[in-house]
């Protein structure tokens, strides 16, 4: 059990009743730290990830995006038996899903997750030395969500998300070069260097942003789904947002309209359990997000966001419902961000033990270990994937650094007059 007020908030949040499919999330009540040592030793892929950015980042606590809340809490108790059961269950569930899928697809999914991880580590480095300015919200820990869900889309389907958008942009098909150049504010960026981290955009690949207003993208997605239906295009919209956006009126108005008008929109709540420095339990009266769909008679699902194949399967069902029946779905994906809210977050509101517990469930590590166990990849192939991802990430930095600054006259283009 956790042992102070803020920790109790967290505990209350994670032991809420789950639907049968969600058993994996129930194990959040135990600490995995004993597993930490054995599991990180198993993988080269994530072993290098765990320490690098966490230790090198120096948060700017004077930044307006800096978050301060509850002070750090103590260690949590450990129940090795529950930890083993939890790990075993997660392992078995994903291995069953692996059996149903084409090995090359599985490898592609792993490659994409690793690429996004390495890309963001490079972005963090560049931010730390002042080459990237402004806001920068990393997605590290949540990669299974965008990669798993976007993998079931057609290229002409739409994706729209919040400011935590680097992973979604890459998954939807914007090149890492263009995403990195956008982070650098350079002309080669996908928004010509005028948007920065929070405003990735590409009409070519139907990626409609990158939005800084919490929940602002939800009514936009609803409108895009309306347009798709109105034009009989059978294109679906994946709309991502954090759990804090669920408290916005725009979320409720959008779900009501989407169900009423039968729109092909899939609302994906990436519940990483914190809105800046505030835990979900302190901000939401009824924290079962997927249940909120009941108020609108909408289909809903809850899924473990650390299992890429579970996310993929759930989204596949929702896409079918949207494409074939013009019906929306609310999906709650339980996930966790390993880094601060943004690069300026000193992270005083959660313990190292809590972060470590979730790092043990790293979606890349779970998937890598399972693919190895099922003989889909071996160490040599994994090394190849890792090397390739690092090369692409390094190349994106070169591209961004050599890309020209936007022309001064660009200050007066693409603005409302
Ligand atoms: C309308 C609005 N209110 C407040 C903010 C400041 N703000 C930026 S991010 C954030 C937290 C959002 O958390 P969540 O929706 O859970 O997404 P996460 O950052 O966890 O991905 C807040 C309150 C904002 N950008 N927009
Ligand atoms: Mg959140």
Does ligand 1 come within 6 angstroms of the Cβ of 119?
no
d(CA 47, CA 308): 19
Contact 312, 152 (CB under 8 A): yes
User: Does residue 407 lie within any of the structural domains?
Assistant: no
* Structure-model confidence comparison of residues 81 and 23, the more confident one: 81
Q: Which of 275, 284, 336 to mutate to test the pocket of ligand 1 (most atoms within 8 A of CB)?
A: 275
Q: Which residue's CA is minimally distant from atom 18 of ligand 1? A: 242
- Classify each residue of 184-210 as buried b or exposed e, where b means 16 or more C-beta atoms within 10 Å of its C-beta: bbbbbbbbbbbbbbbbbbbeebbbbbb
Does ligand 1 come within 6 angstroms of the Cβ of 140?
no
Does ligand 1 come within 6 angstroms of the Cβ of 117?
no
Query: Which stretches of 27-162 are assigned E, i.e. beta strand?
Result: 158-160
- Classify each residue of 61-79 as buried b or exposed e, where b means 16 or more C-beta atoms within 10 Å of its C-beta: eeeebbbeebeebeebeee
d(CA 52, CA 285): 37
User: Does residue 259 lie within any of the structural domains?
Assistant: yes
User: Does residue 250 lie within any of the structural domains?
Assistant: yes
pLDDT at 36 over 60: no
Structural domain boundaries, residue 88: 44-57+77-353+371-402
Closest by CA position to 343, among listed 163, 134, 200: 134
Closest by CA position to 183, among listed 171, 206, 166, 162: 166
CA 275 to ligand 1: nearest atom: 13
Query: Which ligand is closest to the CA of 276, given by its number?
Result: 1
Does ligand 1 come within 6 angstroms of the Cβ of 67?
no
pLDDT band at 62 (very low <50, low <70, confident <90, very high): low
Cβ within 8 Å of residue 99, ≥6 positions away: 374
pLDDT at 10 over 60: no
Count of domains forming the chain: 1
Does ligand 1 come within 6 angstroms of the Cβ of 283?
no
User: Does residue 12 lie within any of the structural domains?
Assistant: no
d(CA 323, CA 225): 11
Q: Which residue's CA is minimally distant from atom 4 of ligand 1? A: 214
| pLDDT computed for residue 416 by the predictor | 84
Does ligand 1 come within 6 angstroms of the Cβ of 86?
no
- The CA-atom distances, in angstroms, between 153 and each of 157, 170, 202, 222, 417 are 6, 14, 16, 17, 36
| pLDDT computed for residue 76 by the predictor | 46
Cβ within 8 Å of residue 69, ≥6 positions away: 276, 277, 278, 348, 349
pLDDT at 87 over 50: yes
* Distance in Å from the first CA to the final CA of the chain: 57
Give strand pairing partners of 303: 333
User: Does residue 231 lie within any of the structural domains?
Assistant: yes
Does ligand 1 come within 6 angstroms of the Cβ of 245?
yes
User: Does residue 167 lie within any of the structural domains?
Assistant: yes
Does ligand 1 come within 6 angstroms of the Cβ of 212?
yes
CA 270 to ligand 1: nearest atom: 21
User: Does residue 366 lie within any of the structural domains?
Assistant: no
pLDDT at 283 over 60: yes
Q: Which residue's CA is minimally distant from atom 11 of ligand 1? A: 275
Question: Taking the model in full, what pTM does it have?
Answer: 0.84
Contact 158, 107 (CB under 8 A): no
CATH of the domain at 202: 3.40.50.970
Average pLDDT over residues 89-111: 95
User: Does residue 48 lie within any of the structural domains?
Assistant: yes
| pLDDT computed for residue 85 by the predictor | 77
């Amino acid at each position: 059990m956790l042992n102070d007020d803020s920790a109790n908030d967290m505990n209350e949040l994670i032991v809420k009743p789950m639907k049968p499919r969600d058993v994996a999330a129930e194990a959040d009540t135990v600490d995995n730290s004993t597993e930490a040592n054995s599991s990180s030793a198993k993988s080269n892929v994530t072993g290098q990830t765990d320490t690098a950015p966490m230790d090198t980042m120096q948060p700017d606590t004077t930044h307006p995006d800096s978050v301060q809340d509850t002070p750090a809490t103590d260690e949590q108790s450990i129940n090795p038996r529950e930890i083993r059961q939890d790990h075993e269950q997660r392992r078995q569930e994903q291995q069953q899903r692996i059996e149903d899928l084409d090995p090359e697809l599985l490898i592609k999914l792993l490659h994409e997750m690793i690429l996004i991880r390495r890309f963001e580590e490079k972005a963090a480095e560049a931010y730390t030395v002042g080459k990237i300015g402004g806001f920068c919200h990393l997605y590290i820990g949540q990669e299974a969500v965008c990669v798993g869900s976007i993998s079931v889309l057609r290229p002409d389907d739409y994706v729209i998300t919040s400011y935590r958008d680097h992973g979604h942009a890459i998954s939807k098909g914007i090149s890492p070069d263009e995403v990195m150049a956008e982070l650098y504010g350079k002309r080669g960026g996908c928004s010509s260097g005028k948007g920065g981290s929070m405003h990735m955009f590409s009409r070519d690949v139907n990626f409609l942003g990158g939005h800084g207003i919490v929940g602002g993208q939800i009514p936009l997605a609803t409108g895009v789904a309306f347009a798709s239906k109105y034009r009989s295009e059978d294109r679906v919209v994946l709309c991502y947002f954090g759990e804090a956006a669920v408290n916005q009126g725009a979320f409720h108005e959008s779900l009501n309209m989407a169900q009423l008008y039968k729109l092909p929109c899939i609302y994906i709540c990436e519940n990483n359990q914190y809105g800046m420095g505030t835990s979900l339990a302190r901000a939401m009266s009824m924290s079962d997000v997927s249940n909120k769909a009941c108020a609108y008679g909408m289909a809903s699902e809850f899924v473990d966001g650390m299992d890429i194949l579970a996310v993929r399967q759930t989204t596949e069902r929702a896409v079918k419902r949207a494409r074939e029946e013009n019906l929306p779905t609310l999906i709650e994906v339980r996930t966790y961000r390993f880094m601060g809210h943004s690069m300026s977050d000193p992270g005083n509101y959660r313990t190292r033990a809590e972060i470590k517990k979730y790092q043990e469930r790293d979606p890349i590590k779970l998937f890598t270990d399972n693919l190895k166990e099922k003989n889909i990849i071996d160490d040599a192939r994994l090394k190849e994937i890792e090397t390739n991802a690092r090369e692409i990430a390094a190349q994106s930095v070169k591209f961004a650094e050599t890309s020209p600054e936007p022309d001064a006259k660009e200050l007066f283009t693409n603005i409302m007059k």
